[in-house]
């Protein structure tokens, strides 16, 4: 367990861009590698300068040694670009980036993780050729999932690395009903907050079945599949491999919990984002059990950014074959964060977006949803329904 974490906050500003491909910092196994982002209808590029700060975080699972490059993710007070990290074994730390932005002329480098509690890096991804051995007979058709969708009024969730901060948030707002930490297990979470296990990627299958079963026994109604397999610095697997991996590791829980698709980024590059998801459906050939899709988004703030975000949510719904959506990461990397949340929150709770079952902004940490361990940031109050 760790009581101290180095956090790197990443801020990539792009006021006039459309949806942005986001990297994410996630607990435990996330490597922080730089990845390129493609902004729609713009040639503005952003270079990010990084500053390291130290914060106190909660427990963390152990993980392998981490590599270092930056990735993409956003931050609040010191907004960062997106974050993405996998679960970590007890005792891992991960960085979180807090950068200053400097426009360039072509591609933008966004941090693969925004504020990330310095976590260890995931072990190397399992080679493609190994995955088929994990699969059941290809002739077996998936059984349909049956658990009911989340109840109305329980959409808001907490993406976290520090369980203490989640408990503090839940103590301030009763609207937070579920959580996840980019990992398969957690401890110390207050009762009443559903914990949803995630299988971050092929290199994190050890103990997955046990953790998933424990999570379901403790009240988890759903399970989350791979984290951004479409991004090189994240789960980083092809749609074909992801389909095999999903059938082998997620399908067995059909009927016991609702199952998500792999969580895609908002990148508009070919073979990423919604395009990656389309290829995933083709590779599944009807054999992957998917009850809802998990999607991410990072981009500008204010009313314009809110419009871009909501437009992307609608496109993702169509790309998900009109299945329900969980927005498991979204954040602002430039502009007015408060106004963005003021416009987005009512929309996500409206009948127009009734297919959005759950959402969790990035993320429950100081400098983001939290201003300190006992107080919310200005936009955190809007999210929690307190402003």
Q: What is the DSSP string of 55-97?
A: EE-------PPP-------B-SSS--B--EE----TT------
Measure the CA angle with vertex 158, ends 11 and 242; round to 5°.
Answer: 80
264 with 271: CB under 8 angstroms?
A: no
Pairing between β-strand 293-300 and β-strand 325-334 as defined by DSSP bridges? parallel
Higher-confidence position of 364 and 65: 364
- Residue 328 reports pLDDT greater than 50: yes
- The pLDDT of 24-46, averaged and rounded, is 38
Domain ranges of the chain: 157-384
Query: What pLDDT score was predicted for residue 117?
Result: 35
- pLDDT 10s digits, 60-110: 444 444 444 433 444 334 333 344 444 444 433 343 333 333 332 222 333
Instruction: Name the average pLDDT for the chain.
Output: 74
Q: Where are the beta strands (DSSP E) in the chain?
A: 4-8, 25-26, 35-37, 45-49, 52-56, 84-85, 100-104, 108-110, 116-117, 157-159, 178-180, 194-195, 222-223, 258-259, 293-300, 325-334, 356-359, 370-372, 375-376
- pLDDT 10s digits, 143-195: 455 567 776 668 999 999 999 999 999 999 999 999 999 999 999 999 999 99
- Residue 226 reports pLDDT greater than 80: yes
Q: Which of 2-11, 164-173, 310-319 has the lowest mean pLDDT?
A: 2-11
Query: What pLDDT score was predicted for residue 93?
Result: 36
Query: What pLDDT score was predicted for residue 149?
Result: 73
- pLDDT 10s digits, 14-31: 333 333 333 334 443 343
157-384: CATH superfamily: Glycosidases (3.20.20.80)
Query: What pLDDT score was predicted for residue 144?
Result: 52
- Residue 220 reports pLDDT greater than 80: yes
DSSP label at residue 260: B
- Report how far residue 381's alpha carbon sits from residue 387's, in angstroms, rounded to the nearest whole number: 5
Tell me how long the chain is. 387
- Report how far residue 234's alpha carbon sits from residue 226's, in angstroms, rounded to the nearest whole number: 9
Query: What pLDDT score was predicted for residue 154?
Result: 82
Q: Which of 330, 340, 334, 332 is closest to 302 using CA atoms?
A: 340
- Residue 345 reports pLDDT greater than 60: yes
Query: What pLDDT score was predicted for residue 304?
Result: 98
327: which residues sit within 8 A by CB, 6+ positions away?
A: 294, 295, 296, 297, 313, 348, 356, 358, 359, 360
DSSP 90-116: TT--------EEEEESS-EEE-S-SSE
Query: What pLDDT score was predicted for residue 67?
Result: 40
Query: What pLDDT score was predicted for residue 135?
Result: 38
Higher-confidence position of 75 and 211: 211
- The pLDDT of 244-272, averaged and rounded, is 98
- Residue 314 reports pLDDT greater than 70: yes
- Residue 271 reports pLDDT greater than 50: yes
pTM: 0.68
- Residue 134 reports pLDDT greater than 70: no
φ/ψ of residue 37, rounded to 5: -125, 145
Q: Which of 370, 296, 363, 293 is closest to 329 using CA atoms?
A: 296
- Report how far residue 167's alpha carbon sits from residue 106's, in angstroms, rounded to the nearest whole number: 42
Query: What pLDDT score was predicted for residue 130?
Result: 32
Query: What pLDDT score was predicted for residue 325?
Result: 98
């Amino acid at each position: 367990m760790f009581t101290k974490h180095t956090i790197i906050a990443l801020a990539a500003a792009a006021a006039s861009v459309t949806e942005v491909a986001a990297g994410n910092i996630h607990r435990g196994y996330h490597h922080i590698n730089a990845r390129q982002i493609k902004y729609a209808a713009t040639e503005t590029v952003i270079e990010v300068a990084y500053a390291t700060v130290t914060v106190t975080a909660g427990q963390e699972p152990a993980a392998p040694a981490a590599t270092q490059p930056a990735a993409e993710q956003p931050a609040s007070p010191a907004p960062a670009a997106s974050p993405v990290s996998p679960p970590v074994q007890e005792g891992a730390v991960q960085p979180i980036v807090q950068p200053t932005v400097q426009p360039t002329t072509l591609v933008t480098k966004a941090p693969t993780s925004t504020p990330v509690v310095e976590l260890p890096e995931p072990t190397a991804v399992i080679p493609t050729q190994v995955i088929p051995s994990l699969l059941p007979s290809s002739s077996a058709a998936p059984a349909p999932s049956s658990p009911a969708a989340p109840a109305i009024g329980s959409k808001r969730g907490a993406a976290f690395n520090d369980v203490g901060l989640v408990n503090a948030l839940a103590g301030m707002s009763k609207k937070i009903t579920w959580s996840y930490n980019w990992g398969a297990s957690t401890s110390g979470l207050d009762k009443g907050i559903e914990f949803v296990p995630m299988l971050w990627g092929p290199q994190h299958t050890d103990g997955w079945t046990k953790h998933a079963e424990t999570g379901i026994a403790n009240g988890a109604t759903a399970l989350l599949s791979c984290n951004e397999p479409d991004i090189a610095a994240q789960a980083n697997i092809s749609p074909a491999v992801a389909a095999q991996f999903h059938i082998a590791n997620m399908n067995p829980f059909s009927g016991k919990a609702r199952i998500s698709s792999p969580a895609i980024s908002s990148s508009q590059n070919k073979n990423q984002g919604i395009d990656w998801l389309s290829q995933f459906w083709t590779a599944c050939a009807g054999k992957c059990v998917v009850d809802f899709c998990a999607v991410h988004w990072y981009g500008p703030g204010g009313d314009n950014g809110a419009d871009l975000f909501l437009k992307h949510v609608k496109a993702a719904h169509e790309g998900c074959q009109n299945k329900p959506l969980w927005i498991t990461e979204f954040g602002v990397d430039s502009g007015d964060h408060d106004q963005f949340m003021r416009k987005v929150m009512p929309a996500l709770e409206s009948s127009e977006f009734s297919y959005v079952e759950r959402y969790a902004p990035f993320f429950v940490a100081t400098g983001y949803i939290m201003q300190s361990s006992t107080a919310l940031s200005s936009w955190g109050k809007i999210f929690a329904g307190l402003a």
